[in-house]
Structure 1
């Protein structure tokens, strides 16, 4: 029976921003007292369940008395002013775990707003990070663009716009947005706020997908950057699957002649990666695992 070849992407598991948030949450949970989050700290249900099992609670479920003695954690994807000034203002301590790269995008929006530049935010409308950027834009927010369909219906009467991106958007969609403005003669003052690590993962996923017969994208379906990895990989490898955990591997239809590429979203824990590799060994008794030698992209 032939060996299944499994090629792991060079960057797997948590990104630096998510790792920072997880480390902070675990530090808080090792201390005495109540620790609670205003929302999911990261888009991975399994990891949030793990944190819940060691004591992380929801702010919504705390009494006023409990909240007054609690340490409150704000998510990695940003938090709005209304959250800071709302109920959590009475907490004993508030830890803002917003990713530094997300804060960099927020600062870019604020600079445009302060300069009176009309702002277009490119991002998923309902995503917490996009709402964080929209708040920074204030009255200068012109439009949120999520898709090509949004561009098709976009009507802009100004001659100059500031464009800022939700950090997990794709390089391809950025180029599409810029081309739309160029065709209409609208000047763009752009802040390149796409996350370098997310871009490297997207580029690596495409390069790996071109050399594989099947692609596994590990992560939670609620994660925007994970879904985007699926979108970029499937264009090069139609047999691309989003894998939340190893239990679904038997349903994918892999076989021992496959070359299987493995990439992950930035909220995927190492335990999931290890379990999937172990699960692949159940699919095929002889599995050869290697790390992709594809070079890192140059931004």
Structure 2
């Protein structure tokens, strides 16, 4: 059975940076926690917990010491609270997420209604929204939701960094019809676009597709949807233990990709599991 492994599978720049900062801080800080999981990989979060990095969900529950800000960032209000407590901050926010926060804040200050293309419940989206403090903000997940937006004189669009470009483009088309002035910042991370295009290309060549990553990872779930649209025999797995040999009946070529928060060792374990099936 032939295996095609995506070259881009695994950590993106922002995740690699965040995990390096977190492990380094764990080695040098006596008391440290992270506000929310550092990345959406339960396995890596457990490794950090073994080094003493406790995951805390609320700022008020953070003990004295250092706090790691996760790669998805935190809300403006949470950051204000952390600063007020004068805690030591290890800011592992992805630079691309930080840029989206800055654009949302700028558009809001300048009087634009902010349209954020993304998933409303995702922590990155909640963080970006919070920086648009001076006006209206609408979170829009797809074209149908965009069609329901009210008409506004001035609209400014930013995107969750892991969105697909096609979804952003469709929503921009709708916003063009609903505003007198439209300003757009394409804040989709390049690594996201590369992964999605590569996954599409591989899905067209294979009999079965595996997408590896945390079930709570938005970019991994999106990769799964993209691959499923092309190859219905697509499975999202978090670890090698979830790979079912029965999936591989009459399969000659397998494609494997992974989300931006998936550690390399997990990818390697899945590849080895697939190699043992036949």
How high is the TM-score relative to the length of structure 1? 0.86
Instruction: Name the residue aligned to 1:39.
Output: 36
Instruction: Name the residue aligned to 2:218.
Output: 224
Partner residue of 1:138 out of 129, 133, 137: 133
Distance 2:57 2:228 in 1: 39
Q: Is the 8 A contact 1:59 1:67 kept in 2?
A: no
Q: Which runs of 5+ in 2 are unaligned?
A: none
Partner residue of 2:63 out of 41, 56, 67: 67
Q: Is the 8 A contact 2:111 2:154 kept in 1?
A: no
Partner residue of 2:170 out of 176, 180, 186: 176
Partner residue of 1:17 out of 14, 19, 31: 14
Higher relative contact order (CA 8 A, sep 6+): 1
SS at match of 1:119: strand
Distance 1:117 1:183 in 2: 16
Residues 1:281 and 2:257 aligned together: no
Instruction: Name the residue aligned to 1:196.
Output: 190
Distance 1:76 1:252 in 2: 36
Q: Cα deviations across residues 47-87 of structure 1 (Å, max 9, x unaligned)? A: 111111221113469998x822x211111101123222336
Q: Is the 8 A contact 1:102 1:129 kept in 2?
A: yes
Q: Is the 8 A contact 1:181 1:187 kept in 2?
A: no
Q: Which runs of 5+ in 1 are unaligned?
A: 285-299
Q: Which moved more, 1:50-59 or 1:71-80?
A: 50-59
Q: Displacement, 1:176?
A: 1.3
Q: Is the 8 A contact 2:35 2:59 kept in 1?
A: no
SS at match of 2:152: coil
Distance 2:181 2:159 in 1: 17
Pair 1:257–1:266, CA change in 2 (3 A): same
Q: Is the 8 A contact 2:203 2:227 kept in 1?
A: yes
Distance 1:252 1:130 in 2: 38
Distance 1:63 1:110 in 2: 25
SS at match of 2:104: helix
Q: Is the 8 A contact 2:212 2:258 kept in 1?
A: yes
Q: Which moved more, 1:83-92 or 1:239-248?
A: 83-92
Instruction: Name the residue aligned to 2:206.
Output: 212
Q: Displacement, 1:278?
A: 0.8
Distance 2:6 2:17 in 1: 21
Instruction: Name the residue aligned to 1:244.
Output: 238
Quote the RMSD (CA, aligned, Å): 2.2
Task: Write out the 4+ residue segments of structure 1 that deviate beyond 6 Å after TM superposition.
Answer: 61-64
Q: Displacement, 1:173?
A: 0.6
Residues 1:55 and 2:56 aligned together: no
SS at match of 2:134: helix
How high is the TM-score relative to the length of structure 2? 0.92
Partner residue of 1:151 out of 146, 149, 158: 146
Q: Displacement, 1:32?
A: 4.7
SS at match of 1:40: coil
Distance 1:87 1:178 in 2: 35
